[in-house]
Amino acid sequence: MHGAPALPPDFSHFAYVNPDAPKGGRLTMGLLGTFDSLNPFIVRGIPVQAVRGHVYESLLTRGYDEPFTLYGLLASRVETDPDRSVVTFTIDPDATFSDGVPVTADDVIFSWALLRDHGRPNYRTYYAKVAKAEALGPRKVRFDLAGANDRELPLILGLMPVLPRHATDPAHFEETTLKPPLGSGPYVVESVDAGKSVTLTRNPRWWGRDRAVNRGLWNFDTIRFDWYRDDNAWFEAFRKGLYDIRVETDPGRWETAYGFPAARDGRVVKEEFPTGLPRGMAAFVFNTRRPVFADLAVREAIVRLFDFEWINHNLFFDRYRRTGSFFEGSELSHRGRPADATERALLAPFPDAVRPDVMAGTDAPPVSDGSGRDRAALKAALDRLAEAGYALDGGVLRHRATGQPLTFEILVTTKDHERLALAFARSLERAGIVPAIRVVDAVQFEQRRIQFDFDMIPNRWDQSLSPGNEQAFYWGSASAGEPGSRNYMGVRSPAVDATIAALLRARSREDFVSAVRALDRVLISGHYVVPLYHLPTQWVARWSDVRPPAATSLYGWLPETWWRAGGR
């Protein structure tokens, strides 16, 4: 994206893989929830996301030791001009789909047009920026990007999934399906147990097995994904060895629940992996489309009422760190950094978009005394609510003009989120706010989230070291009314739109970082979420015969680089 790739054209493998990893054996992964579709490219349904990387491939693939650098996968060559107004991909002559049919320029153009017209909103947004696509030969495709003013677009197109034209029905593409898809990737779908499990097997004719970008990856002959509806059942299944790798995010469980026999005798191993990525924003999300959250003062007051110190100590063994940035823990975060000249110039047309303390980089999330009954925090919240027109009336906070109580629903789907919501609700009730907590199953939660049918939900946005077009999908004004986008809070801010446009047109890493920090400042100042917390490292538990490579990527642990000892 910026600068030059770190690896030379003749590199043999990525540094974060074991190029001699044994092939073979079976990996079983456990997931929470359910699924009803094998199509991950559409809004409808709950898809099996693993299909994207295991079955379908793209023209280029990420190097996970760099912020955003792509190397050839289906494409053996890529050409672009200094302005990135055009990009041309040449397809590897050996590239084939799993049925042996060659991948052609026609498949690439077909995929682009299909996803532009019928794919998820992010695909439609990205691919509509292409002015023209044309085949320059059977294996060569050219995209004209004139007028897009988007320097990330050639990379986005490089990551576009390539679907087989001969095996894809455009007329029914937007319908959910459990029919095994046809792709060019290392695996094919072997079997499906609707809503419960999917089994993938290695394609013995996979065209890319000897390419440098794939060396040391995709080491298992079979990968099975099992879904669990209940969080406790999900963990118990791991204890019993029903799946091999578990990512843990609950400090209470990490500290106290891994004393079972297999963990004591070394058959289960707990590991912490470093990551250079932003820590992500986990939060309770305000749906600002709802009148109750339309007032920034109300949102700010509710943020003040989240008692992180009490929750972290009493529920989480003090293992979490408080999140105060959408790009926490990286150079992209505004925290502790005053806005530079580039940021100030970018934000100058929007003088009210950023609070002074956020502009100075001196802001921090509210800190309580940890008692669970911090009177100073309560008073600060009530003062802010008074500015918004609310006053206590018999212990209930009501709007002075309408008499309506301040009440809203927190929608959750897991036991962990329910426990957190209950703890938050106790603080809200002390301020006279009347929260309701509704627990729904994973299917209903996803349906309501997609349609923005909620007051408040827990959510997490993960970020890379090179945020780009997806930021418009997360926070852009155009996505606020687009069901299926990840703009769950309903942000409609010209300042946000301007900072996203600036990061997309940045030609240097310095200008790019400034634009992202400016975006971070606007989002934090808008109080669109109640920021929660993050872990300083990635926690992963594994059964000991499943092994990771010695080196960890900049992005943290990558399951596609693991293998089974002895290949069993």
Q: Which amino acid is at 427?
A: S
475-509, pLDDT tens digit by residue? 999 999 999 899 999 999 999 999 999 998 898 88
Tell me the pLDDT band of 568, cut-offs 50, 70 and 90: low
Q: 419: Cβ–Cβ under 8 A, 6 or more apart, which residues?
A: 315
Q: 535: Cβ–Cβ under 8 A, 6 or more apart, which residues?
A: 249, 251, 279, 319, 320, 321
Q: Which amino acid is at 103?
A: V
Spatial distance between the Cα atoms of 475 and 486, rounded to a whole number of angstroms: 7
Spatial distance between the Cα atoms of 214 and 163, rounded to a whole number of angstroms: 20
Chain position carrying tokens 């912020």 = 67
Spatial distance between the Cα atoms of 499 and 505, rounded to a whole number of angstroms: 10
Spatial distance between the Cα atoms of 509 and 493, rounded to a whole number of angstroms: 25
**pLDDT in the model for residue 309:** 97
Given a cut of 80, is residue 388 above it in pLDDT? yes
Nearest Cα residue to 35 out of 184, 173, 193, 202: 193
Given a cut of 60, is residue 559 above it in pLDDT? yes
Query: Helix or strand or coil: residue 480?
Result: coil
DSSP 260-324: SHHHHTTSEEEEEE---S---EEEEEE-TTSGGG--HHHHHHHHHT--HHHHHHHHHTT--EE--
Mean pLDDT of 73-78: 98
Spatial distance between the Cα atoms of 182 and 75, rounded to a whole number of angstroms: 19
Tell me the pLDDT band of 149, cut-offs 50, 70 and 90: confident
86-101, pLDDT tens digit by residue? 999 999 999 999 999 9
Give CA separation, 67 vs 11, 14, 379, 525, 555, in Å. Answer: 18, 14, 43, 26, 9
Residue 219 near residue 563, CB atoms below 8 Å: yes
**pLDDT in the model for residue 257:** 96
Given a cut of 80, is residue 566 above it in pLDDT? no
120-146, pLDDT tens digit by residue? 988 998 899 999 999 999 999 999 999
Mean pLDDT of 162-166: 98
**pLDDT in the model for residue 443:** 87
545-555, pLDDT tens digit by residue? 999 999 999 99
Given a cut of 60, is residue 567 above it in pLDDT? no
Exposure b/e, 183-219, CB count within 10 A at least 16 = b = bbbbbbbeebeeeebbbbbbbeebbbeebbbbbbbbb
459-479, pLDDT tens digit by residue? 999 999 999 989 999 999 999
**pLDDT in the model for residue 122:** 85
Q: What value does the mean pLDDT of the chain take?
A: 96
233-292, pLDDT tens digit by residue? 999 999 999 999 999 988 989 999 999 999 999 999 999 999 999 998 999 999 999 999
Tell me the pLDDT band of 516, cut-offs 50, 70 and 90: very high
173-193, pLDDT tens digit by residue? 999 999 999 999 999 999 999
**pLDDT in the model for residue 121:** 86
211-225, pLDDT tens digit by residue? 999 999 999 999 999
Q: 223: Cβ–Cβ under 8 A, 6 or more apart, which residues?
A: 26, 27, 28, 29, 50, 54, 187, 199, 200
Q: Which amino acid is at 74?
A: L
Mean pLDDT of 294-300: 97
| DSSP structural state of residue 362 | -
DSSP 168-229: --GGGTTS---SPP--SSSEEEEEEETTTEEEEEE-TT-TTTTSGGGTT----SEEEEEEES
Q: What's the predicted TM-score (pTM) here? A: 0.81
Spatial distance between the Cα atoms of 10 and 90, rounded to a whole number of angstroms: 18
Mean pLDDT of 529-539: 95
**pLDDT in the model for residue 469:** 87
